[in-house]
Structure 1
Amino acid sequence: MVGHWAIADHMLTGLVTDAPAAAEHTRGNLAGAVIHTDHGTQYTGRAFADACRQAGVHQSMSAIGSSADNALAESFNATFKRETLQGRRTCPSEREARLDAFGWLNRYNTRRRHSRLGQRSPIAYETALATTATTLAQAA
């Protein structure tokens, strides 16, 4: 799970379509990726569905009232909030919020080891998968 983000002082459609667009710009290709969201209107609208479809991203939504099928996303969000806010209720400025989010996600993606990924960071895990897939394709 590699995290990408967008930040704003609103929860309008433009915010949620910015995150997959930024991820696609950074990563080059999102084909086959899964994005998990809740049932907020910004995620159930046509603009977000179109943005996901254009990027080749599969939309996943938990069942209403069920926390079991979105536990990974909820855990990720809780860890992000706990480790970036660290006892604060708010950020002093939008700039500081952006810097905190960028710093945390950079560390999460590149250095934070995950037991589920064999004690590798998400980027190291993806790199190993890509190398394995390329090697297998060349061997065939």
Structure 2
Amino acid sequence: MAGEGLPVQLACRVLDVSESGYYVWRSRSPSLRELRHAWLTERIRQIHAASRGTYGARRVHAELTLGSGLVVWHGTVEMLMQREGIRGLPGNRRRRPIQQVPTAADLVDRDFHRDAPNRLWVTDITEHPTREGKVYCCVVLDVCSRRVVGWSIDSTQTSSLVTNALGMAIHNRRPDPGSLIHSDHGTRFTSWAFTRRAQESGLVPSMGSIGDCFDNAVIESFWGRMQVELLNRQRWKTRIELANAIFDYLEIFHNRQRRHSAPGMRTPIEYEKLYPTANWHKSPATRLHPTRGTSRSPRNSGRFTA
């Protein structure tokens, strides 16, 4: 009340407190709790900025506890973020077109839990406009670690878009025969080229029911976050600009920096280090360097044609 211009004597009389007590409170040094909250607020700002402004309270709390080893209650993080107006990006819901092509059976049946990498991959295509035209991106995602193991970017949506992404995943990971590759019933995934590439590598194709996004919920959730955290945050001038931004998001931010809830708030590469002796990564060229061959810029990879 005194801060709003009312006389201190009058404010103390209304609130039934002593004037001396008020002045002692004003001259008192900050408490340990206030100092800790001020320090935590600054740390939260740094984490939120490092996440490119995408993290909400849940992932900020994970970064504080798992990344920095701090002991802090989740409610404290929520309170400090709300007090300072720091918030994550909201989700984005978008209806997808329905394909009317019944093909492979659903071998996943919405059970996306796997105990080790390279047991189940999910794949799908998204598109986003630029001033030059649309950019199409296909991603192959490992459901165990949520790591993007293969991707392809192009200016046209053809069967080569999906076969290139699948080929990159197979080359980098060398999955055991019988591993599943799960997709929707899009014409690119039902094409002869994609089906043969999967079968030649020992992969078993699986497809969810027609028109049901929940049958491929993991990849749909991935696209939703990518739309919010990258694609919808600005207007893109050229295809090359957007392609480079997608490459940076997939290989740098998503795989190496972003904490995911499914693998216990770890990054995908950090989570896969829990399997150092497992025989799931057979590629001789990448056994000692798990990320070799996966961090190629779309400008030089030959996967993008403007």
Once residues 179 and 157 of structure 2 are traced to their aligned partners in structure 1, the CA distance between those partners, rounded to angstroms, is 23
Q: Which of 229, 233, 237 lines up with 1:92 in the alignment?
A: 237
Match of 2:159 in 1: 13
Q: Secondary structure in 2 aligned to 1:119? A: coil
**Per-residue deviation, 1:109:** 1.0
Shift of 1:119: 1.9
In 1, Cα distance between equivalents of 2:180 and 2:256: 20
Contact 1:20 1:55 in 2 (8 A): no
Structure-1 separation of matches of 2:258 and 2:205: 26
Distance in 2 (CA, whole Å) between partners of 1:92 and 1:34 is 37
Q: Percent identity?
A: 36
TM-score, normalised by the number of residues in structure 1: 0.80
Give the distance between the partners of 2:186 and 2:153, measured in 1 at CA: 16
1:28 deviation in Å?
4.2
Q: Whose radius of gyration is greater, 1 or 2?
A: 2
Equivalent of residue 218 in structure 2, options 64, 69, 72: 72
Separation (CA, whole Å) in 2 of partners of 1:128 and 1:30? 18
The count of aligned residue pairs is: 131
The structure with the greater share of residues assigned to helix is: 1
The Cα RMSD (Å) is 2.0
Residue in 2 aligned with 1:138? Answer: none
2:206 is the counterpart of 1:60: yes
Q: Counterpart of 1:82?
A: 228
Q: Secondary structure at the match of 2:154?
A: coil
Structure 1, unpaired ranges of 5+: 135-140
Q: Distance in 2 between matches of 1:117 and 1:28?
A: 19
The structure-2 alpha-carbon separation of the partners of 1:41 and 1:125, relative to structure 1 and needing over 3 Å to count, comes to: same
- What is the CA–CA distance in structure 2 between the aligned matches of 1:6 and 1:95, rounded to whole Å? 13
Q: Once the 2 structures are TM-superposed, how far is the Cα of residue 23 of structure 1 from its aligned partner?
A: 2.3
Q: Give the distance between the partners of 1:58 and 1:2, measured in 2 at CA.
A: 20
